[in-house]
């Protein structure tokens, strides 16, 4: 669905590359996470893929279209939810969606259904200018689905939303995935990426450092630890032991045999910890 080969981008032709020779593929139906800290090159890449920025070099195919050739019908196949909501303030929520729907040459979805999906149906006749930041964000999110896109670009889809709304947005993303929609999700939130993405790319200083599934990354970089809590002489003791160390393995067996176990679980590295291990940098 997306194929990028040797893509670079410089804003000022000053030799500084915001995106530096990146290559990756996104398969049909995949939810692909593009993760990195501020200034890593996420928005630049997304800008090129969505046609906001002109491709300078490399090869980019998006939804079957080579971006070097001008083919505006590709916009019928993609949906974009920007982090910074760009809704029309003077139009109501419903008018915003109807206006946007008219821009497409393909059948569009029922705006009311979309407003319901993001919890804005009750506010359909209110002007978007009166909405909170989170509500504008939800309206933009709903708008990005109006043309039933095959390929969906999501920029920080849950940033700034309260946890209940964020959970609903995540459910919508999962539902779209179950329908075979491909998503390109840009974020610096590793928890969202872990929950939603089939594969993630770590990007930093314009370069992709690795691409893999969250599961493989945890297996490869995980600490392989067991945390056990047990009762000894009425006191609760907690020990963290390595499952790859023979001495610790014997200790685990000994605890299981001789003590009253309260809790016991393996400890996985989070994607955030793995990102720091791989890149030497945090995500802020
Ligand atoms: N319009 C612009 N003009 C000049 N330089 C820019 C412009 N937009 C971005 N850059 C630079 O390009 C680099 C990559 O920025 P980009 O916005 O792609 O990062 P990002 O990963 O999306 O960050 P964030 O998470 O903060 O949005 C940064 O060094 C940034 O300063």
Q: Which ranges of 156-201 does DSSP label H, i.e. alpha helix?
A: 163-178, 190-196
Residue 125: exposed, middle, or buried by beta-carbon count in 10 A (0-12, 13-18, 19+)? exposed
Rounded Cα–Cα distance for residues 20 and 90 (Å):
40
Residue 42 in contact with ligand 1 by CB distance below 6 A: yes
**pLDDT for 2-54, tens place per residue?**
999 999 999 987 778 999 999 999 999 999 999 998 889 999 999 999 988 99
CA distances from 36 to 7, 16, 183 (A): 17, 18, 17
Report the atom number in ligand 1 closest to the C-alpha of 43.
Answer: 22
**pLDDT for 132-183, tens place per residue?**
888 998 999 999 999 999 999 999 888 878 888 889 899 999 999 999 999 9
Name the pTM for this structure.
0.84
Separation of CA 40 and ligand 1 centre (Å): 7
CA distances from 107 to 7, 28, 145, 178, 205 (A): 33, 21, 12, 21, 40
**pLDDT for 218-274, tens place per residue?**
888 776 788 899 999 999 999 988 887 889 899 999 999 999 999 998 877 788 888
The residue whose CA has the least distance to atom 28 of ligand 1 is: 39
Separation of CA 11 and ligand 1 centre (Å): 9
The token pair at 2 is 């997306």
Residue 38 in contact with ligand 1 by CB distance below 6 A: yes
Residue 43 in contact with ligand 1 by CB distance below 6 A: yes
Query: Do 159 and 188 touch, CB atoms closer than 8 A?
Result: no
Smallest CA-to-CA distance from 124 within 147, 98, 145 is with 98
The pLDDT confidence band at residue 185, using thresholds 50, 70 and 90, is: very high
Smallest CA-to-CA distance from 82 within 20, 166, 139 is with 139
The token pair at 191 is 């928890």
pLDDT number for residue 269: 75
Give helix 133-143 / helix 163-178 axis angle, nearest 10°. 10
Smallest CA-to-CA distance from 64 within 150, 145, 144 is with 150
Residue to mutate (ligand 1; options 16, 42, 189; most atoms within 8 A of CB): 42
pLDDT number for residue 283: 66
The residue whose CA has the least distance to atom 3 of ligand 1 is: 11
The pLDDT confidence band at residue 284, using thresholds 50, 70 and 90, is: low
Phi, psi of 272 (to 5 degrees): -65, -45
**pLDDT for 104-143, tens place per residue?**
889 999 999 999 999 999 999 999 999 988 899 899 999 9
Rounded Cα–Cα distance for residues 40 and 256 (Å):
47
Separation of CA 186 and ligand 1 centre (Å): 13
Rounded Cα–Cα distance for residues 174 and 168 (Å):
10
Strand partners, 242: 225
In 10 A of CB 168, how many CB atoms? 16
Report the atom number in ligand 1 closest to the C-alpha of 45.
Answer: 18
Give the containing element (helix H, strand E) for 42. Answer: helix 42-50
Smallest CA-to-CA distance from 80 within 48, 38, 37, 41 is with 48
Separation of CA 18 and ligand 1 centre (Å): 7
Q: DSSP E strands: which ranges in the chain?
A: 2-9, 19-26, 31-35, 59-62, 65-66, 78-81, 151-155, 182-187, 199-204, 207-212, 225-232, 235-242, 260-267
Residue 36 in contact with ligand 1 by CB distance below 6 A: yes
Separation of CA 185 and ligand 1 centre (Å): 17
Report the atom number in ligand 1 closest to the C-alpha of 47.
Answer: 18
Smallest CA-to-CA distance from 146 within 197, 184, 111 is with 111
């Amino acid at each position: 669905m997306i194929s990028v080969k040797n893509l670079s981008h410089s804003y000022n032709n000053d030799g500084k590359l915001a995106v530096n020779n990146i290559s990756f593929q996104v398969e049909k139906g995949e939810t692909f996470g593009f993760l990195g800290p501020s200034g890593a090159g996420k928005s630049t890449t997304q800008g090129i893929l969505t046609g906001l920025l002109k491709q300078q070099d490399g090869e980019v195919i998006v939804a079957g279209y080579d971006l070097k050739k001008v083919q505006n019908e590709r916009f019928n196949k993609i949906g974009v939810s920007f982090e910074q909501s760009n809704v029309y303030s003077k139009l109501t929520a419903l008018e915003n969606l109807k206006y946007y729907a008219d821009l497409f040459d393909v059948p569009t979805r029922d705006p009311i259904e979309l407003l319901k999906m993001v919890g804005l149906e009750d506010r359909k006749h209110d002007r978007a200018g009166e909405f909170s930041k989170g509500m504008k964000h939800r309206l933009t999110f709903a708008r990005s689905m109006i043309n039933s896109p095959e390929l969906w670009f999501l920029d920080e889809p849950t940033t700034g939303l309260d946890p209940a709304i964020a959970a609903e947005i995540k459910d919508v993303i999962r539902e779209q995935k179950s329908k075979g929609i491909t998503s390109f999700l840009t974020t610096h939130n590793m928890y969202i990426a872990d929950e939603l993405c089939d594969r993630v790319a770590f990007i930093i200083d314009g370069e992709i450092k690795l691409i893999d599934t969250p599961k493989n990354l945890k297996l490869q970089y995980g600490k392989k630890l067991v945390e056990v809590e047990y009762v000894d002489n009425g006191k609760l003791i907690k020990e963290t032991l390595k499952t790859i160390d023979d001495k610790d393995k014997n200790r685990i067996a000994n605890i299981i045999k001789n003590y009253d176990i309260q809790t016991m679980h393996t400890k996985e590295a989070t994607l955030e910890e793995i990102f720091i291990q791989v890149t030497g940098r945090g995500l802020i």
